[in-house]
Amino acid sequence: MALYKNKWEIKSWAQLSASVGDSTNTLEFRPKHRLPYNLQQGPKASKKATGFFNRDSILTSGDYPDGFYIYDAGSGLSYTAMPKTAFVADATAFLMSSSLSSEAKTQISASFNAQPFPDLVVQIDSSSFTGSVTGSGPANASWDVPVAFIGNGAGTLQTINQSTNHTGIALQAAGTYAGAVSSVEFTLPMETMSFTGTYESRSLEFASFTGSEYSPIVYANSAIYTPNGSPQTTASIIGVQFGSGSYVTESNGNYSWVEHGGYIKALGDGADGIYAYGTKKDILHFPSGSVVTSSECLRYLLSDVNVSGMSVVTTVYYVSGSLTSTGSVGFFDNSAGSMIMPGGSGSHLFGDASLSNPAFEGIYTFAGLTNTKACQVIIPSETGARIPRFSGIKYNT
């Protein structure tokens, strides 16, 4: 048996592929986003000055349109196959980027190109993973983002990673992308992301990253993204704009906000096939000086249209349109003590004064009204909406 460096068995890609699934070994196919960090962005990656490995050149297939490789769960070895043309092009680009003299480059290039490379060139890497990828459930990483925030400054959008494996995370902005990065992929298991929001420019910018496994600077440089109108890069994304929101005015004209939308796909210990973007989540940004006020009410189940069943005493919070505590909340006028029934839905309702959580859906009644009525509160039907608003439906009580 031929061994490379007395350590690795020499096999063609066809031989390796035929061995996947054989009960006598621990070889398995994995998609590109499972590649070890060392190959994706580490010192071996072509995106670094000293790197030669281009992850975008590895073999693709119908099952793995973005590329795939073979992983040996027993030894921790990764085998990648690159078509000869791509391999030669990457190696030549690496050579030409070196500090060697032009004469040396020419000599090495001639010798390199004279080699009888196979159609698929196999590269071996010894970077291993932690844990295994045997689970079948969803990824053990989630995106915990506040539903709204007020004023300019840093807020926290948190990805909670409980994975024993590398958890690749990708974010994609929704809405307008002009002058911004609309998508970014992190090749390390990010734990906390902090964004700076600026209401006037409708922007969210990456502010900082933290985690328990790596230093902040490593996290900051663990992204692969494409700036608007520029080539792909792995430079630090701190200070880079992520998408741009849209100004929206409440239907009654009481207040305005900037609405951001985003998607996340997170890869944990679950099956590889689940690595896909989830449902859009909206985040509302209110201007500095916005006043949050509250009202006590009774909340009934949405199905309790007669408002005759059990109710829960609760407090709802909302942004006052006039920057004072006398603004209106949808169909309930806190100052006049009466219902207002314009067309369209009403104000957003939150579950806490920090606007981090939405209120619950239900049928609400408010004490102290001149004409006591109940209003239905539901989450709007548009994709990504998470914050309940008055629906326009009223009930006599």
Residue 193 lies inside a defined structural domain of this protein:
yes
Q: Which of 312, 314, 354, 311 is nearest to 147 (CA)?
A: 354
What confidence score (pLDDT) does residue 352 get? Answer: 94
Q: Which of 286, 318, 335 is the last residue of a domain?
A: 286
What confidence score (pLDDT) does residue 127 get? Answer: 60
Q: Based on the fold, state whether residues 180 and 267 are members of the same structural domain.
A: yes
Contacts of residue 203, defined as CB under 8 A and 6 or more positions apart, other chains included, come to 180, 197, 241, 244, 245
Q: Based on the fold, state whether residues 260 and 302 are members of the same structural domain.
A: no
* Structure-derived torsion over alpha carbons of residues 35, 41, 43, 44, reported in degrees to the nearest 10: 50
Q: What is the pTM of this model?
A: 0.71
What confidence score (pLDDT) does residue 129 get? Answer: 47
Q: Based on the fold, state whether residues 107 and 152 are members of the same structural domain.
A: no
Q: Based on the fold, state whether residues 27 and 73 are members of the same structural domain.
A: yes
Name the residue range of residue 382's domain: 291-396
What confidence score (pLDDT) does residue 360 get? Answer: 93
Q: Based on the fold, state whether residues 235 and 250 are members of the same structural domain.
A: yes
What confidence score (pLDDT) does residue 78 get? Answer: 85
Residue 188 lies inside a defined structural domain of this protein:
yes
Q: How many CB atoms lie within 10 A of CB 338?
A: 13
d(CA 123, CA 145): 40
Q: Which of 237, 262, 286 is the last residue of a domain?
A: 286
d(CA 94, CA 41): 15
Q: Which of 330, 307, 303 is nearest to 317 (CA)?
A: 330
Q: Based on the fold, state whether residues 299 and 281 are members of the same structural domain.
A: no
What confidence score (pLDDT) does residue 232 get? Answer: 77
Residue 135 lies inside a defined structural domain of this protein:
no
Q: Based on the fold, state whether residues 223 and 265 are members of the same structural domain.
A: yes
Per-residue pLDDT of the chain (397 residues; tens, 9 = 90+): 456 666 666 788 998 898 887 888 888 888 887 787 778 777 777 765 567 888 889 999 988 888 899 988 777 788 999 999 998 888 888 888 887 888 888 888 888 888 888 899 988 887 644 433 333 334 456 677 889 999 998 777 777 666 655 567 888 888 766 677 888 888 776 678 888 999 999 989 998 887 776 778 877 888 888 787 787 787 888 998 888 888 888 766 677 899 998 888 876 656 666 677 888 889 999 999 888 888 888 899 999 988 889 999 998 888 875 433 434 444 444 444 344 433 334 678 899 999 999 999 998 887 654 445 677 888 887 778 888 887 777 776 6
Q: Based on the fold, state whether residues 162 and 98 are members of the same structural domain.
A: no
Q: Based on the fold, state whether residues 149 and 281 are members of the same structural domain.
A: yes
Q: Based on the fold, state whether residues 23 and 69 are members of the same structural domain.
A: yes
Q: Which of 91, 125, 159 is the last residue of a domain?
A: 125
Tell me how many domains the chain contains: 3
Residue 133 lies inside a defined structural domain of this protein:
no
Q: Based on the fold, state whether residues 109 and 243 are members of the same structural domain.
A: no
